[in-house]
Structure 1
Amino acid sequence: MTIDDRRQRDRTAQRLLITLTARTIAEREGWAAVTTRRLSTEIEYSQPVIYKHFSSLDDLVEAVALDGFDELAAALESARSDSAADVQLAAVALAYLDYAAEHPALYDAMFTRSTSLRFGTDETPPPLAAAYAQLRAAIDSVSDPRDPETLTEVLWSALHGLVALSRAGRLRAGREAERVELLARSLQP
């Protein structure tokens, strides 16, 4: 291994440690607790090392969000591929809700915090596109003859609304499967 290869490996490991630590703190205490001072204390790197990888805390949150989109895409793909065609949509919807419930701070970074990450543009990062593609794939089996892009946006909006309302205690507990089943049926042709 060359010196440059080792340096790159070390930089990659540092970046991963910073993002994982930020995510851990956020899941435990919320994003307000994630500061460069706190990160430097937790991981025993100086603040300049953190700023060498991320120009701001917003950049760090975006990196964490991108990791989350990779994970969400994998969870949705697994739910879709492990389900029969007639229940794929409901399985994907439940997987989405489960992911949001299991990772609330990460979900905030992905969907509710202000970021420069954008869907539906030429600059959409691959992890965002991959997560969206899994929702779209679940919709493809029920969209005919309707516009699958619009149906995917409706599904995504409904799921995000269910997450937000559930987290705020605005919906009755324990009814997620019933809601998802009703949503999936309503999107059927």
Structure 2
Amino acid sequence: MGIAERKHRQKQALRERILDAARRIVVREGFAALSMRKIADAIEYSPATLYLHFASRDDIARALCEEGYAQLLATFVPLVRIADPAERLRALGRAYVAFGVEHPETYRLIFMEDPSYTGAALGGAAAATGKDGGSADDSSANAGTSGSTASRDNADDDPGDAALHIMIDALDELRAAGRLSASVASMESAVWAEALWASLHGIVALNLTCPVFPSAPLETLVGVTLDAWLGAPQAVAAGASNSAAVRGKKAVARRHAEPSESADPVPERATKRKAAGP
């Protein structure tokens, strides 16, 4: 190993130490507690050393957002294997909310702190996702034909939009199969996907910031939201239809089997009159 390579590795190792320390502070104390001096104390370096790697605290925050967003995208990768597009969208929605709940400070930093942080996360996902030689797109490419090719191609062009592309492609599959209501089918796919994303983000944001939200279990709320957008799952809808048909048949059978209420008294009254006669 040459001197230049050794110095480069040492520089990268120190950069990772800085980010690791910053990440621990954010997770433990929140972003407001993050400062260059606190990070320097955590890694036992002078604050001046940090500025050799990052221009400011905001620069560190943007790097953390890139990593956090790549982590979110990684949770979506196995879901591309789901063949049914509606179930794929449901799984994506649940995974998105679960990430926000399980990593609240990371989620806040990416989506709720500073627009420039969000922009860095969406724009920097390519490097963060593929830094180990693989990427979410590579994994998706091996997922089989159930995963959308368009998602992978678009993610290569703009990895910050990878999640939206997966949603859009699933929606297009539902439209092609005639499984969308007329109102939804007439809507532009990108608009629909962004609206669903906004709904899911609202659930996470309220869960993180509002002490009285939700009053129902979070999983129930997510399910109701997804049902509102996608309709009841096919198996549930079919089961409900079958149950209704069975109930209808039983009701008809009862009406035929039971004597008519209006017919019963007539012969009884006739019998009584006959008995009272001479």
TM bucket by the smaller chain?
Answer: 0.7 to 0.9
For 2:171, the equivalent position in structure 1 comes to: 142
Normalising to structure 2: TM-score of the pair?
Answer: 0.60
User: Cα RMSD between the aligned structures?
Assistant: 2.3
For 2:125, the equivalent position in structure 1 comes to: 127
Aligned mate of 2:219, from 153, 160, 177: 177
Once residues 2 and 53 of structure 1 are traced to their aligned partners in structure 2, the CA distance between those partners, rounded to angstroms, is 22
Once residues 170 and 127 of structure 1 are traced to their aligned partners in structure 2, the CA distance between those partners, rounded to angstroms, is 34
For 2:15, the equivalent position in structure 1 comes to: 15
Q: Which has the larger radius of gyration?
A: 2
Once residues 187 and 30 of structure 1 are traced to their aligned partners in structure 2, the CA distance between those partners, rounded to angstroms, is 33
For 2:47, the equivalent position in structure 1 comes to: 47
Give identity over the alignment, percent.
29
Normalising to structure 1: TM-score of the pair?
Answer: 0.86
The answer to whether the 8 Å contact 1:70/1:127 transfers is yes
Q: Is there any run of 5+ residues in structure 2 with no aligned partner, and where?
A: 127-157, 176-184, 232-278
Q: CA deviation at 1:134?
A: 2.2
Letter in 2 for 1:140: D
Q: CA deviation at 1:45?
A: 1.7
Note closer, same or farther for the CA distance 1:83–1:11 as it changes in structure 2 (3 Å cut): farther
Once residues 138 and 173 of structure 1 are traced to their aligned partners in structure 2, the CA distance between those partners, rounded to angstroms, is 28
| Equivalence map 1:72-151=2 (5 Å) | 72-81=72-81, 84-117=84-117, 125-127=123-125, 129-130=158-159, 132-143=161-172, 144=175, 145=185, 146-151=187-192
Moved more, 77-86 or 46-55: 77-86
Once residues 71 and 116 of structure 1 are traced to their aligned partners in structure 2, the CA distance between those partners, rounded to angstroms, is 19
Q: CA deviation at 1:71?
A: 0.3
Once residues 21 and 50 of structure 2 are traced to their aligned partners in structure 1, the CA distance between those partners, rounded to angstroms, is 11
Moved more, 128-137 or 60-69: 128-137
For 1:69, the equivalent position in structure 2 comes to: 69
Q: CA deviation at 1:160?
A: 1.0
For 1:162, the equivalent position in structure 2 comes to: 203
The answer to whether the 8 Å contact 1:94/1:180 transfers is yes
Q: Is there any run of 5+ residues in structure 1 with no aligned partner, and where?
A: none
Once residues 41 and 109 of structure 1 are traced to their aligned partners in structure 2, the CA distance between those partners, rounded to angstroms, is 22
